[in-house]
């Protein structure tokens, strides 16, 4: 029996160096987790920086401005919630809110219904020239809002536009689309023309996800096209319909481009408080009332979030 070998004492630094020499992956495994976690932040860091600069910073600055008021004597002073009380008691602000609310209630259902019909027609496979028709419907969305509004504003003209030419050719007098009574409906027509293709694309994309086996089963059971639409396609479109509705609600409360451009043509029909966004723009750039303008923007943002959340909550309850 051989005698036991004496234990060799190695210094701590030499032992760690010796033990790690034969295992290259050990050094990598022992890297601090905190150091490795910064790798992900390097990828999302540029986006977060731009997001904070162009989105979060203006919101924070608007909230800051809404708590101050520029006085003739004393300069910019803190007023607390006085600006909010002033805006909430402003009849011009609420007239604009009521106008865009009416626009939302009437225009959004009409636009979504037409977009749904177009999407169902394109998806049916029975439409001649389907690809061309789909592109033609979507094409107005590619037209900038400024160009679309100027184009329709020219056609609405009773003295130089399409409406005036029809009146002269047929010897009739059509209602003036740019009159105070009809200008909101005319703007609704422009917005509908612009965004039918966008919403159609959302619905059509959702229809393409439906398994074809469901259509085959319905055909074997002898279901009609109307039954296929009501029992298969429409239930599958609930999520897409909810997304399109929320986007349309946000767009309606942000209505600005179309009335701002048409205002140059018919200043008597479209006033500075025609929509809340146009009112905020007028307060800021025409009246130099930056604090009141920021307050209007914050209040409208809160109203938009509340309405969109309520619609989404009801949609989720129906899905459940």
Tens-place pLDDT, residues 131-190: 888 889 999 999 999 999 999 999 998 888 889 889 888 888 889 999 999 999 999 999
Q: Alpha helices of the chain — where are they, by DSSP H?
A: 12-19, 24-29, 33-51, 57-66, 82-88, 91-123, 130-142, 145-156, 162-170, 183-207, 212-220, 225-228, 234-236, 238-253, 257-262, 276-281, 290-319
- The single-letter DSSP state of residue 42 is H
Within the chain, which residues score under 50 in pLDDT? 1, 7, 9-10, 13, 15-22
pLDDT at 1: 47
Q: How far is it, in rounded angstroms, from Cα 156 to Cα 123? A: 34
Size of the chain in residues: 320
Both tokens of residue 24?
């290259």
What the chain holds in terms of domains, given with CATH numbers, is 86-319 (1.10.3720.10)
Contacts of 273 (CB under 8 A, 6+ apart): 92, 93, 95, 96, 279, 282
**Is 256 in a helix, a strand, or coil?**
coil
Tens-place pLDDT, residues 63-97: 999 999 887 666 778 888 999 999 999 999 999 99
């Amino acid at each position: 029996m051989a005698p036991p070998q004496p234990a060799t004492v190695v210094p701590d630094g030499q032992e760690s160096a010796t033990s790690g020499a034969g295992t290259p992956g050990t050094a990598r495994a022992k890297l601090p987790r905190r150091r490795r976690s910064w790798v992900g932040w390097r990828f999302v860091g540029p986006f977060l920086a731009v997001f904070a600069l162009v989105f979060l910073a203006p919101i924070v600055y608007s909230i800051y401005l809404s708590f101050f008021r520029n006085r003739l004597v004393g300069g910019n002073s803190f007023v607390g919630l006085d600006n909010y009380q002033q805006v909430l008691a402003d009849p011009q602000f609420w007239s604009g809110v009521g106008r865009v609310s009416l626009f939302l209630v009437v225009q959004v259902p009409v636009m979504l219904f037409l977009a749904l019909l177009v999407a169902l027609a394109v998806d049916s496979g029975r439409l001649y020239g389907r690809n061309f028709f789909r592109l033609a419907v979507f094409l107005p969305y590619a037209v900038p809002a400024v160009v679309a509004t100027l184009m329709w504003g020219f056609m609405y003209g009773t003295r130089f536009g399409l409406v005036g030419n029809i009146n002269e050719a047929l010897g009739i007098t059509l209602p003036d689309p740019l009159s105070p009574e009809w200008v909101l409906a005319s703007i609704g027509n422009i917005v509908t023309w612009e965004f039918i293709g966008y919403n159609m694309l959302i619905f059509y994309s959702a229809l393409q996800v439906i398994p074809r086996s469901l259509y085959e089963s319905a055909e074997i059971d002898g279901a009609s096209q109307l039954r296929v639409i009501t029992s298969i396609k429409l239930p599958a479109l609930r999520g897409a319909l909810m997304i399109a509705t929320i986007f349309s609600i946000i767009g309606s409360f942000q209505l600005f481009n179309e009335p701002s451009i048409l205002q140059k043509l018919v200043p008597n029909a479209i006033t500075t408080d025609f929509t809340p966004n146009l009112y905020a723009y007028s307060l800021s750039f025409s009246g130099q009332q930056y604090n009141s303008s920021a307050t209007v923007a914050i209040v409208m943002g809160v109203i938009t979030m509340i309405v969109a959340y309520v619609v989404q909550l009801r949609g989720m309850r129906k899905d459940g």
